[in-house]
């Protein structure tokens, strides 16, 4: 497309996502900002700190303004982000895409995929054709025929969960929602929004649903249908906010009960995957026929990885809906997701609309028309082979990080087929903030996404080792015990050291 060939886009990004100096990205940037000097290299060497709140306000042109101009604010903001991308370890976002220069001209239009993607528009400013192409691809991936499925590109995983659980409730109005305590918090939010009864299921140490607890609760409520949220290695972004602002900030913003806070902590942090087959078997054993349960799969992060590892998600099984996030493993400049369900369920939803004065079965109505094009472009440029390569590289890199940390005597856990490396929480807040790590209790995690290189991991490990030396050298403090959270065999604290795998 003019200045960038697709091969260059993706090959370069996969090989050297962080070296912008001579890539098409910086060339394109030069085109867009011909007068802006590229200061990146210098700042990068000096080690960029976390970005600070810009304390902005909307300006009024014509009024006297002593502060920086709009242009200056934007250029500085972009520069900071460019530096900070090299320290982006803790969040499940693939920032390894250079196709912005190719797709940027789309920003000159307002693209709105309002309502159902399969219904025609009378206005031309939509991308429903791109959207349907993306949906077809996912339908094929999850083994459901074109004429049997319905779906749409959502604004993110939460919208998918809200939609899937609503579908379940509309099909089984008396149904109880079952979800493990490690489910994404939007699942419990949905229960409250939709005025549904819910049961929280325990989890094992690795974060997977405790199937015996599920069985016990299913048997307790046998007289009512079951709507089950299955977590396919989701990951929670929000919870991290809580650990780095002051207590006073918290109090001033919320008058909330401690209960809520602690509940947040129990979110899936470890990349565990609930086993759909075991859940289906449990339902059968407990006497639930197929018309008395609905399964929604929240596959936010792993939905795009599992098909290249096993066929966990398949509509050949009696599942109701699957949700993934588009900005996570695949990557997209803004949050988005894909929701796929059975067409017959949507028809049911549409038939029962006494109040919904529309055939629009989406949650959000007016929908982002850019994200389907980004997804279509990424999928088409990578293809299944490219995705498979990404999965392999990420799994390898996760294993590499885990092994290196183990060698250094640092508590660490990596679930099978997971890219989430859970480690002891670094003691130094500045270090955590610098590497944008996500922490819960005494754990931190690195999510080894496609954009993360061995070089970044090496830098991280060497800084971590150095930081631990500083913290623990005088013997006054010692590394935390995380045996309860990630298992004794993964804990390298002074007490469990003796059982530590690498020792």
Burial label, 253 (beta-carbon count in 10 A; 0-12, 13-18, 19+): exposed
Q: Interface with a second copy includes 62 (CB under 8 A)?
A: yes
Tokens representing residue 1 in the block:
């497309």
Q: What is the DSSP code (8-state) at residue 232?
A: B
Q: Considering the complex, state which of residue 359 and residue 501 has its C-beta at the smaller distance from a second copy.
A: 359
The only residue of 436, 459, 465, 480 in contact with a second copy, by rule CB under 8 A: 436
The only residue of 136, 145, 281, 291 in contact with a second copy, by rule CB under 8 A: 136
Burial label, 128 (beta-carbon count in 10 A; 0-12, 13-18, 19+): buried
Q: Which residues contact 15 (CB under 8 A, 6 or more apart)?
A: none
Site for a second copy in 254-293 (CB under 8 A): 254-257, 259-261, 263-264, 266-267
Q: Which of 99-107, 211-219, 288-296, 481-489 is the region at the interface with a second copy (rule: CB under 8 A)?
A: 99-107
The only residue of 60, 66, 277, 474 in contact with a second copy, by rule CB under 8 A: 60
Q: Interface with a second copy includes 247 (CB under 8 A)?
A: no
Q: Which residues contact 466 (CB under 8 A, 6 or more apart)?
A: none
C-alpha–C-alpha distance, residues 265 and 268, integer Å? 9
Q: Interface with a second copy includes 224 (CB under 8 A)?
A: no
Closest separation in Å from C-beta 136 to a second copy:
6
Closest separation in Å from C-beta 292 to a second copy:
21
Q: Considering the complex, state which of residue 221 and residue 380 has its C-beta at the smaller distance from a second copy.
A: 380
The only residue of 45, 64, 192, 247 in contact with a second copy, by rule CB under 8 A: 192
C-alpha–C-alpha distance, residues 199 and 217, integer Å? 7
Closest separation in Å from C-beta 407 to a second copy:
27
Q: What is the DSSP code (8-state) at residue 118?
A: T
Q: Which residues, in sequence order, are bridge partners of residue 295?
A: 228
The only residue of 18, 86, 94, 496 in contact with a second copy, by rule CB under 8 A: 94
Q: Considering the complex, state which of residue 276 and residue 485 has its C-beta at the smaller distance from a second copy.
A: 485
Site for a second copy in 3-32 (CB under 8 A): 3, 6, 25, 28-29, 31-32
Q: Interface with a second copy includes 46 (CB under 8 A)?
A: no
Q: Interface with a second copy includes 357 (CB under 8 A)?
A: yes
Q: Interface with a second copy includes 306 (CB under 8 A)?
A: no
Tokens representing residue 389 in the block:
């390569």
Q: Interface with a second copy includes 376 (CB under 8 A)?
A: yes
Tokens representing residue 498 in the block:
């003796």
Q: Interface with a second copy includes 78 (CB under 8 A)?
A: yes
The only residue of 225, 233, 320, 335 in contact with a second copy, by rule CB under 8 A: 335
CB 323 within 8 A of CB 88: no
3-state helix, strand, coil in the chain (%, to 5): 45, 10, 40
Q: Considering the complex, state which of residue 485 and residue 490 has its C-beta at the smaller distance from a second copy.
A: 485
Binding mask 152-191 for a second copy (x = CB under 8 A): ---xxxxx--x---x------------------xx-xx-x
3-state secondary structure string, 261-291? HHHHHCCCCCCCECCHHHHHHHHHHCCCCHH
Q: Considering the complex, state which of residue 267 and residue 453 has its C-beta at the smaller distance from a second copy.
A: 267
The closest of 164, 171, 165, 293 to 224, measured between CA atoms, is 293
The only residue of 399, 433, 441, 497 in contact with a second copy, by rule CB under 8 A: 433
Please report how many Cα atoms fall inside a 13 Å half-sphere around the Cα of residue 296, on the Cβ side: 36
CB 486 within 8 A of CB 271: no
Find the helix or strand (DSSP H, E) in which 454 lies. Answer: helix 454-472
User: Would you list the DSSP string of 140-183?
Assistant: HHTT--GGGEEEEEESSHHHHHHHHHHHHHHHSTTPEEEEETTS
Q: Which residues contact 480 (CB under 8 A, 6 or more apart)?
A: 411, 424, 425, 442, 493
Q: Interface with a second copy includes 421 (CB under 8 A)?
A: no
Q: Interface with a second copy includes 467 (CB under 8 A)?
A: no
Find the helix or strand (DSSP H, E) in which 322 lies. Answer: strand 321-325
Binding mask 112-131 for a second copy (x = CB under 8 A): x-xxx-xxxxxxxx--xxx-
The closest of 316, 319, 314, 308 to 142, measured between CA atoms, is 314
Closest separation in Å from C-beta 142 to a second copy:
14
CB 196 within 8 A of CB 264: no
Q: Interface with a second copy includes 480 (CB under 8 A)?
A: no
The only residue of 195, 316, 469, 476 in contact with a second copy, by rule CB under 8 A: 195
Catalytically annotated residue among 183, 186, 198, 418: 418
Q: Interface with a second copy includes 193 (CB under 8 A)?
A: yes
C-alpha–C-alpha distance, residues 191 and 154, integer Å? 19
Catalytic (active site) residue 321: no
Closest separation in Å from C-beta 412 to a second copy:
20
Active-site annotation, residues: 418
């Amino acid at each position: 497309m003019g200045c960038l060939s697709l091969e260059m886009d993706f090959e370069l990004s996969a090989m050297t996502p962080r070296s912008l100096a001579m890539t098409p990205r910086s060339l394109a940037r030069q085109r867009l900002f011909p007068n802006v000097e590229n200061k990146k290299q210098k700042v990068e060497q000096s080690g960029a700190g976390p970005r600070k709140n810009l304390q902005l306000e909307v300006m009024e042109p014509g009024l006297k303004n002593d502060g920086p101009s709009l242009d200056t604010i934007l250029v500085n903001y972009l520069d900071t982000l460019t530096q900070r991308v090299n320290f982006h370890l803790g969040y499940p976002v693939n920032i390894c895409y250079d196709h912005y220069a190719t797709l940027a001209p789309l920003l000159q239009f307002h693209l709105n995929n309002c309502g159902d993607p399969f219904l025609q528009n009378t206005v031309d400013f939509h991308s429903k054709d791109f959207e349907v192409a993306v949906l077809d691809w996912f339908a094929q991936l999850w083994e459901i025929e074109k004429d049997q499925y319905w779906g749409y590109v959502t604004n993110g995983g939460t919208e998918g969960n809200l939609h899937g659980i609503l579908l379940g409730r509309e099909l089984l109005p008396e149904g109880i929602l079952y979800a493990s305590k490690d489910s994404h918090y939007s699942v419990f939010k949905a229960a409250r929004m939709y005025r549904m009864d819910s049961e929280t299921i325990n989890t094992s140490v690795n974060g997977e649903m405790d199937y015996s607890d599920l069985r016990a609760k299913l048997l307790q409520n046998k007289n009512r249908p079951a709507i089950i949220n299955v977590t396919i290695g989701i990951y929670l972004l929000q919870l991290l906010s809580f650990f780095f602002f002051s207590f006073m900030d918290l109090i001033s913003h919320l008058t909330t009960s401690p209960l809520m806070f602690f509940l947040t902590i129990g979110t899936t942090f470890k990349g565990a995957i609930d086993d759909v087959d075991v859940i289906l078997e449990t339902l059968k054993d407990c006497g639930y026929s197929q018309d008395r349960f609905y399964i929604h799969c929240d596959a936010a992060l792993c939905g795009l990885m599992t098909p290249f590892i096993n066929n966990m998600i398949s509509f050949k099984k009696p599942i109701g809906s699957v949700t993934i996030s588009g900005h996570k493993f695949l990557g997209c400049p803004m949050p988005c997701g894909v929701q796929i369900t059975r067409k017959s369920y949507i028809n049911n939803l549409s038939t029962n609309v006494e109040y919904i004065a529309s055939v629009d079965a989406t949650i959000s109505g007016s929908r982002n028309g850019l994200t389907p094009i980004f997804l279509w472009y990424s999928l088409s440029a990578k293809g299944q082979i490219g995705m498979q390569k990404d999965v392999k590289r990420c799994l390898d890199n996760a294993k590499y990080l885990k092994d290196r940390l183990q060698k250094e005597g640092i508590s660490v856990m990596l679930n099978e087929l997971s890219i989430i490396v859970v480690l002891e929480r670094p003691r130094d807040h500045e270090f955590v903030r610098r590497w944008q790590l996500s922490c819960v209790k005494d754990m931190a995690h690195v999510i080894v996404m496609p954009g993360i290189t061995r070089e970044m991991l090496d830098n991280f490990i060497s800084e971590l080792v150095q930081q631990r030396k500083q913290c623990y050298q005088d013997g006054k403090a010692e590394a935390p015990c995380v045996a309860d959270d990630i298992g004794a065999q993964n804990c390298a604290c002074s007490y469990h050291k003796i059982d530590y795998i690498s020792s």
